[in-house]
Amino acid sequence: MNIKHYLLLSTAFCTLNVMAQKPKMEQKKPTSTKPPIDKSTMDFGVKPTEDFYRYANGTWLKENPVPSTESRWGNFNLVAERNNLVLRNTLENLAKTPQVPNSIEDKIATFYKLYVDTNKRKSDGVTRTDYYLGRIAAISNTNEMFELIAEMHSKGFSGLFRFGVSQDAKNSQVYIPQLSQGGLGLPDKDFYFKTDEKSTKIRNEYLVYIGKIFKVYGKDEAM
């Protein structure tokens, strides 16, 4: 797959990255009266010297099986699901209520309405990406490629690399700009190199999926 094909995929898989710089937080004394360890999630029927993981989490694991739609499940997933529900309710309430024209609330409501309007999305198809597909096809040198990547990043496309703001790994009290490698459609390199049956099946199905993406964009599936 050459660079033009990769950029085409980046366009197809584009996501909006919202970055926010947060000020350094002052350390505060904990005010919670809850015990630091939730013993209700532990399994005291397991000896910690034999399987400490199940000793510490066994009851939680029994009461929270991995849903069939997920590859993993934990407390962070539960928090994310709750946050998604809160966000959805907030967006739906904004969309139902008349907003001041051109206000932040109005823009958010408009964006959400466009997103959930599946009929319009189906009728539009991939025509809204024609501009970038044309730019990709017209690349003739390295400088033009870099210019396009810069433009894509300014619009929220994470081509070739990712840039964002998140907590400092060495100091969780501050947020810092972070640059990371991009370009993998599967989670990590093991998905591309492991030869066991499950990995091979995932990789083959991923190739079929990429072929379908190319087909949607009017390209040869064999690319």
39 DSSP 8-state letter = G
Cα-only R_g, the chain:
23
Angstrom distance (rounded) from CA 108 to CA 96: 12
CA distance 223 to 9: 11
User: What integer pLDDT is reported at residue 97 of this predicted model?
Assistant: 93
Q: What is the mean pLDDT of residues 18-43?
A: 66
Ranges of beta strands (E only) in 66-170 are 161-168
Residues in CB range of 44: below 8 A, 6 or more apart: 55
pLDDT surpassing 90 at residue 160:
no
Q: Which residue carries 């009461």 as its tokens?
A: 63
pTM as predicted: 0.53
178 confidence band (pLDDT: 50, 70, 90): very high
**pLDDT of 10:** 55
Q: Which helix (H) or strand (E) holds 153?
A: helix 142-154
More confident residue, 29 or 85: 85
Mean residue pLDDT across the chain: 85
Q: With beta carbons less than 8 A apart as the criterion, state whether 159 and 149 touch.
A: yes
Residue 37 has pLDDT above 50, yes or no: yes
Other Cβ atoms closer than 10 A to 46: 17
- Classify the C-alpha dihedral 110-108-132-13 as positive or negative: negative
pLDDT band for position 48 (cuts 50, 70, 90): very high
Q: Could you read off the pLDDT of 181-217 as tens digits, one per residue? A: 877 888 888 999 999 999 999 999 999 999 998 888 8
Q: Are 114 and 120 in contact (CB under 8 A)?
A: yes
The mean pLDDT value for 115-131 works out to 88
Say if residue 26's pLDDT is above 60. no
